[in-house]
Amino acid sequence: MSKQSPNVSPLRDWQQDLHDRSVPTVSTTHADRRSFLKASLTAAGALLITASLHPRRARAESSSSPGMLGFFVRIDTDGTTHIGARSPEIGQGVNTSLPMIIAEEMDADWARVKVKQMPMALKKIDEAPGIAWKYGPQGAGGSTSIPSAWSDLRQVGAKVRQLLLQAAASQWEVPVSDLRTEAGVVIHADGRRLSYANLAASAATSAWPEADVPLKDPKDFRIVGTAQPQVALREIVTGRAEFGIDARMPGALVAVVARCPHFDGEIESFDASAAKQIPGVREVLVLPGPKHGEPISANLATGVAVLADDSWAAIKGRRALQIRWKPGPYAQESSASLDRQCAELLKGEGIRCREDGDFDAAREAAARTVEAVYRVPYVSHCPMEPQNACVHVEADRVRIVAPMQSPSGASRVAHQLTGIDRFKIDVRMTRVGGGFGRRLSNDFVAEAVLLSKLSGKPIRLLWTREDDMRHDFYRPFGHHHLIASVDEQGAVSSWAHRLASASKYYRRPNVKPEDMWNPEIYPDDFPAQLVSNLRLEWFAVDSGMTRGSWRAPAHTANAFAVQSFIDELAVATKRDPVALRLAMLGEPRELEYGGHGGPVFDTGRLAGVLRRAADKIGWGRDPGKGRGLGIAAHFTFGGYAAHAMEVAVADDGSYRIERCVCAVDVGRPINRSGLEAQMIGGTIDGISTARNLEIHIRDGQVVEGNFDRYRLLRMADAPDVEVEIIDSEADPAGAGEMGIPTAAPALTNAIFAASGVRVRSLPIGPKIAAG
Amino acid sequence: MIKFTVNGAEHQFDGDSTMPLLWYLRDHAGLTGTKFGCGIAQCGACTVHVDGEAARSCTLPVAGLEGKKITTIEGLAEGRLHAVQQAWMEQDVPQCGYCQAGQIMAAVDLLKRHPDPSDEQINTLTNLCRCGTYPRIRSAIKRAAALAKSESAGREADA
Ligand code: FES
Ligand code: FES
């Protein structure tokens, strides 16, 4: 992979960052930064867990053993406990919840914990591909940070505790079995106590335990399962939290790029003379882009970059550019042409993604068949912080500071574009102003790398909102045709989900054409295995839009279609929507689930959230004239969620969510405040998107460019969200995505109940069409 | 040469006077707490106070600021945190946090105009939060109103 890799990473370990004022620290107690600096200065006797009496041996171990356990914790002599946070903080709360897991197992005093973002770090391994995570996985996507932390960071904390216990045992000359721990102290059976602060130095002289050590019994948890405010609160409310856009590199030029607005288009010609007249503009460069139809492995589009002394000069410089673009092969594409394409495709036969029993025969024999088509539009991620990156490419090294969800992807793309050894690519994650899947792609990092390479200067790349909204990896567009039949007894005897969509794998490197449906239909999703004659069929929509992962990817589209359709089926067969769902789920049992979030799907847990949401909203009551109750439940990436809403529809078609309940079972809650926040946020995101959001296409270009036309939900339309957390003891799943998929169908089902109008095409709009 | 104050300190600027205050703050004054979200006065991420009133700095050219007093999120706490900042912490409002400086500046302004705001008055806030923190913002504003009331009661008792 790399030409000549040194054995150890030349990057500083994050512990060194503890002494570096430029790397922000955040604290559970929200003490100000000055007290932290004092703590750092007095940290001479600090416990560096990686240190050892046999330093050479211990270091070798710590750089070769999986998990990198010694890298996360340091205890100062004053008791301050530093815990490293390895995953990017995109608002999902992992800089709080991951350290909580370590703190729990080591029995730290949470009030004394300070958290610091760790940089991305790799290590060399002998097996292919020769490179692996040094601190464990460091991405943010797929709601995976918590489950992976649960499997390795608990051991990190437990091993730290083990070292402290051993240190106390040898100081007192007693067996470890006589000792226990409490928040920050070791206690002997006879009542003697030693604080972690006092034990830290001697504990640091022991070798890091190689074998797994016993973990706490969850009934003894003191931190996991509580509600903790996020650790960076004080920095955020005082404006000191550092996001990617706040990063600075000495001598950096601000780059603003005019990207080709046509899907797969090119530059025909351009004139930069006026741009170069703008004071502060230093250079105008052509940014190369991907070739027609080729996989997108770096940046999204070709363009012209203006490099300037500051943001305003760069923005003005770009405005002054005269560019003639050459439209690409999608110049005719429009939202309407996509709708026509879908309708046409659905008349034919697609790829069979799953075929159980005999759908056609069952449909033939059925007492009653119901069908409907649902439309889900393209939508943009538009994280509040537009894309940006600070990158400096030098002769033999690269430095990247950026808001990312996939820092290893940033390192890979920088290597791909420069040929520089990955161990000489320093990747620093900042706090991230929202991810939603957008920053799983590193196209913006690639642009900054290219521009730094071309100009020879450090580059601070800035995207404006228009750049962000018009150059995205959009949530796929699709039409969902659902067909179900019921037998004489009213049981669902057949089910088909026929989806024509623009696959999110479009132009993704290394994807085979026959796998394009994989991210569009998840074959084990409800009601697979619950209806004996089942067909899942997919049709490829041709579109020039670049697509990608949008928070809870296909679940948002598919849960809308499936959970709306169940409601339609219930209405058509005069059954209660909750009762029908429960009947289909049947006895609580585990079904096989081969997709992400598996290996099992527990019907009882889905029924559990459905019942809880129904109870809380008062399902079955008559909400009065012009009001209706709607419900939906779905399994997303290992977590179960249900929404129940009460909606009032006025005579003019405007509608209001009067109550909104979200019941969630993501296994054992780690941080209840964070979990509740994710459910509130997911719910609002789901409502916002269902209500107003669509990216339209005209002449092979994106229409919407900013929040004036892309109307995110605002305070006046945001309901309160009543979150019901199921107290599960199952291993924790993540929580970043589960709150979205059921929000839209619960809303449209409630609108139907209130008004008799069935919304089958998203977005709903501020008013529903008269029924 | 344009002169104004930012968080009590004198500033002078003789660069491009069409530059919006947002970029002056972020690129020239080293005050990056004020955020860029849209550039067209739609999102409120860039909200600051100009002579004590909320303003969206992305569309305020420096040219119009002669003699104005500007307060940014960095200057909001005077010795101790503002009641709104305290309430934001108590309610654990932020998710990604990117919009929150603007949300706080807008909430401070709302509370100046309506010390005990109704839900309808809170609904007049148009700052965007992509993470969907609106319900907690609403409760934090109510909490801040209560905190401010007890603070001023405390001040009167001291006097
Ligand atoms: S950046 Fe000023 S309102 Fe959005
Ligand atoms: S907290 Fe992320 S945009 Fe508001």
Over the stretch A489-533, which tens digit does the pLDDT of each residue have?
Answer: 889 999 999 999 999 999 999 999 999 999 999 999 999 999 999
Tell me which residue of A513, A525, A479, A469 sits closest to A499, measured CA to CA. A479
Alpha carbon separation from A301 to A260, A262, A289, A455 (Å, rounded): 6, 9, 5, 19
Alpha-carbon span A610 to A259, nearest angstrom: 46
Among the candidates A195, A217, A237, a domain finishes at: A237
Domain CATH number, residue A452:
3.90.1170
User: Does residue A55 carry a pLDDT above 60?
Assistant: no
Cα(A120) to ligand 1 centroid in Å equals: 31
Question: What ipTM describes this predicted complex?
Answer: 0.98
Ligand 1 and B56: CB distance under 6 A: yes
Cα(A610) to ligand 2 centroid in Å equals: 29
CATH of B2-76, one of 3.40.50.620, 3.10.20.30, 3.40.50.720, 3.90.1150.10: 3.10.20.30
- The alpha-carbon gap from B154 to the nearest alpha carbon of chain A, in Å, equals 24
* Residue A111 DSSP one-character state: G
Whether the Cβ atoms of residue A409 and residue A419 lie closer than 8 Å to each other: no
Question: Cβ contact (<8 Å) for A384 and B27?
Answer: no
Q: What is the pLDDT of residue A140?
A: 81
Q: What is the pLDDT of residue A29?
A: 54
User: Does residue A3 carry a pLDDT above 60?
Assistant: no
Chain B residue with minimum CA distance to A435 = B96
Look up the pTM and report it. Answer: 0.93
Q: Give Cα B142 to chain centroid, integer Å.
A: 17
The reply to whether A340 and A457 lie within a common domain is no
> For residue A1, is it within any domain?
no
In this prediction, residues A544-568 reach a mean pLDDT of 97
Question: Cβ contact (<8 Å) for A680 and B136?
Answer: yes
Mutate to test the interface with A, among B38, B70, B74, B85 (most CBs of A within 10 A): B38
Is residue A695 very low, low, confident or very high in pLDDT (cuts 50, 70, 90)? very high
Domain CATH number, residue A209:
3.30.365.10
Out of A385, A677, A684, closest to residue B92 by CB: A677
> For residue A385, is it within any domain?
no
The reply to whether A227 and A281 lie within a common domain is no
Q: Given ligand 1 and candidates B40, B48, B103, which is best to mutate, with the most ligand atoms within 8 Å of its CB?
A: B40
The reply to whether A249 and A194 lie within a common domain is no
Give the model confidence (pLDDT) of B53-99 as tens digits. Answer: 999 999 999 999 999 999 999 999 988 999 999 999 999 999 999 99
Whether the Cβ atoms of residue B28 and residue B94 lie closer than 8 Å to each other: no
Q: How many CB atoms lie within 10 A of CB A99?
A: 32
Residues of chain B with Cβ-Cβ distance to A382 below 8 Å are: 130
Q: What is the pLDDT of residue A25?
A: 58
Query: For chain B, what percent of residues have pLDDT higher than 90?
Result: 92
Whether the Cβ atoms of residue A224 and residue A189 lie closer than 8 Å to each other: no
> For residue A416, is it within any domain?
yes
- The alpha-carbon gap from B73 to the nearest alpha carbon of chain A, in Å, equals 6
User: Does residue A2 carry a pLDDT above 50?
Assistant: no
Q: What is the pLDDT of residue B158?
A: 65
The reply to whether A101 and A204 lie within a common domain is yes
The reply to whether A650 and A604 lie within a common domain is yes
Q: What is the pLDDT of residue A27?
A: 62
Q: What is the pLDDT of residue A26?
A: 65
The reply to whether A568 and A540 lie within a common domain is yes
Between β-strands A478-486 and A368-376, what pairing exists: parallel, antiparallel or unpaired? antiparallel
**Residue of higher predicted confidence among A204 and B64:** B64
User: Does residue A687 carry a pLDDT above 80?
Assistant: yes
The reply to whether A439 and A353 lie within a common domain is no
Helix/strand/coil (H/E/C) assignment for every residue in A508-543: CCCCCHHHCCCCCCCCCCCCCCCCCEEEEEEEECCC
Residues of chain B with Cβ-Cβ distance to A434 below 8 Å are: 96, 98, 130-131
Q: What is the pLDDT of residue A23?
A: 47
Is residue A292 very low, low, confident or very high in pLDDT (cuts 50, 70, 90)? confident
In this prediction, residues A403-413 reach a mean pLDDT of 95
The reply to whether A692 and A725 lie within a common domain is yes
Q: Phi, psi (5° rounding) for residue A277?
A: -75, -20
> For residue A479, is it within any domain?
yes
In this prediction, residues A237-266 reach a mean pLDDT of 97
Question: Cβ contact (<8 Å) for A707 and B20?
Answer: no
Cα(B97) to ligand 2 centroid in Å equals: 5
User: Does residue B14 carry a pLDDT above 80?
Assistant: yes
Q: What is the pLDDT of residue A629?
A: 98
Nearby residues of A750 by Cβ (< 8 Å), 6 or more positions away:
A628, A629, A630, A645, A646, A647, A657
In this prediction, residues B119-129 reach a mean pLDDT of 98
What is the domain extent for residue A231?
16-237
The reply to whether A514 and A434 lie within a common domain is no
Alpha-carbon span A118 to B29, nearest angstrom: 28
Give the model confidence (pLDDT) of A97-134 as tens digits. Answer: 999 999 999 999 999 999 989 889 899 999 988 999 88
Q: How many CB atoms lie within 10 A of CB B117?
A: 20
The reply to whether A292 and A418 lie within a common domain is yes
Q: Is the dihedral of CA B108, B110, B113, B115 positive or negative?
A: negative
Give the model confidence (pLDDT) of A594-606 as tens digits. Answer: 999 999 999 999 9
Summary mean pLDDT of chain A: 90
Between β-strands A492-501 and A478-486, what pairing exists: parallel, antiparallel or unpaired? antiparallel
Which residue's alpha carbon is nearest to atom 4 within ligand 2?
B129
Residue limits of CATH 1.10.150.120 in chain B = 83-158
**How many structural domains are present in chain A?**
3
Q: What is the pLDDT of residue A205?
A: 81
Q: Is the dihedral of CA B54, B59, B61, B62 positive or negative?
A: positive
Strand order of the β-sheet with A179-182 is A179-182, A185-188, A193-195
> Which superfamily is assigned to B83-158 in CATH?
[2Fe-2S]-binding domain (1.10.150.120)
> For residue A704, is it within any domain?
yes
User: Does residue B150 carry a pLDDT above 50?
Assistant: yes
Alpha carbon separation from A712 to A302, A379, A403, B37 (Å, rounded): 29, 11, 22, 13
Give the model confidence (pLDDT) of A714-737 as tens digits. Answer: 999 999 999 999 999 999 998 999
> For residue A621, is it within any domain?
yes
Is residue A31 very low, low, confident or very high in pLDDT (cuts 50, 70, 90)? very low
- The alpha-carbon gap from A755 to the nearest alpha carbon of chain B, in Å, equals 26
> For residue A11, is it within any domain?
no
The reply to whether A249 and A233 lie within a common domain is no
User: Does residue A59 carry a pLDDT above 80?
Assistant: no
The reply to whether A630 and A701 lie within a common domain is yes
Among the candidates A192, A217, A237, a domain finishes at: A237
In this prediction, residues A633-649 reach a mean pLDDT of 97
Ligand 1 and B75: CB distance under 6 A: no
> For residue A51, is it within any domain?
yes
Ligand 1 and B46: CB distance under 6 A: yes
Q: What is the pLDDT of residue A53?
A: 26
Question: Cβ contact (<8 Å) for A684 and B28?
Answer: no
Q: What number does the ligand 2 atom closest to the CA of A384 have?
A: 3
Whether the Cβ atoms of residue A742 and residue A690 lie closer than 8 Å to each other: no
Chain A residue with minimum CA distance to B76 = A238
Q: Is the dihedral of CA A637, A642, A647, A652 positive or negative?
A: positive
